[in-house]
């Protein structure tokens, strides 16, 4: 009988510790859905940079900068900035073709958001163009409140023909 009470007490202590951990904001992140608006390899933005865009004016400015070297410039996608926002990522100048920038995941924690990106580079055996490229991606997702957004960029090498 004492052994059963000891087991019950130990179980309550463990579950109480888990409840305390979750109450302190240690919940697993919520993975947010996103829609790719456009991605490519010819950007007018030549530096690596990441942007969280929460209004139409800022979006139009970034869109125009990105497509300043393209004619005709593609129309700006419709975004409902009352409920949505845009994440724009730019990889900077790359010395060859064969690169791709992907947004892979948006992790919404209770006190911050982490945007995971992958920069895929061609391996040494790939036949690529010698032209300078500037990989970029624009996505839309739900609008977050005023919590910090952190970007995590991972560089990977891909075999020829492996980009999908």
**CA of 155: how far to CAs of 28, 39, 47, 119, in Å?**
25, 17, 16, 5
pLDDT tens for each residue of 38-69: 999 999 999 999 999 999 999 999 999 999 99
Dump pLDDT digits (tens) for 80-125: 999 999 999 999 999 999 899 999 999 999 899 999 999 999 988 8
DSSP annotation string for 106-157 = EEE-SS-EEEEEEEEEE-TT-----S-B--EEEEEEEPP-S--EEEEEEEEE
Domains of the chain, residue spans: 27-158
């Amino acid at each position: 009988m004492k052994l059963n009470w000891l087991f019950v007490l130990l179980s309550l202590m463990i579950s109480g510790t888990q409840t305390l951990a979750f109450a302190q904001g240690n919940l697993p992140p919520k993975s947010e859905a996103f829609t790719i608006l456009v991605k490519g390899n010819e950007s007018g933005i030549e530096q690596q940079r990441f942007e969280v865009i929460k209004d139409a004016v800022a979006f139009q400015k970034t869109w125009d900068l990105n497509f300043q070297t393209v004619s005709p410039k593609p129309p700006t996608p419709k975004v409902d900035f009352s409920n949505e926002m845009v994440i724009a990522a730019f990889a900077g100048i790359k010395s060859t073709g064969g690169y791709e920038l992907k947004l892979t995941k948006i992790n919404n924690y209770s006190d911050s958001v982490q945007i995971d990106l992958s920069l895929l580079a061609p391996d040494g055996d790939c036949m690529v163009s010698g032209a300078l490229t500037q990989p970029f991606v624009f996505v839309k997702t739900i609008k977050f409140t005023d919590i910090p957004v952190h970007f995590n960029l991972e560089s990977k090498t891909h075999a020829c023909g492996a980009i999908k």
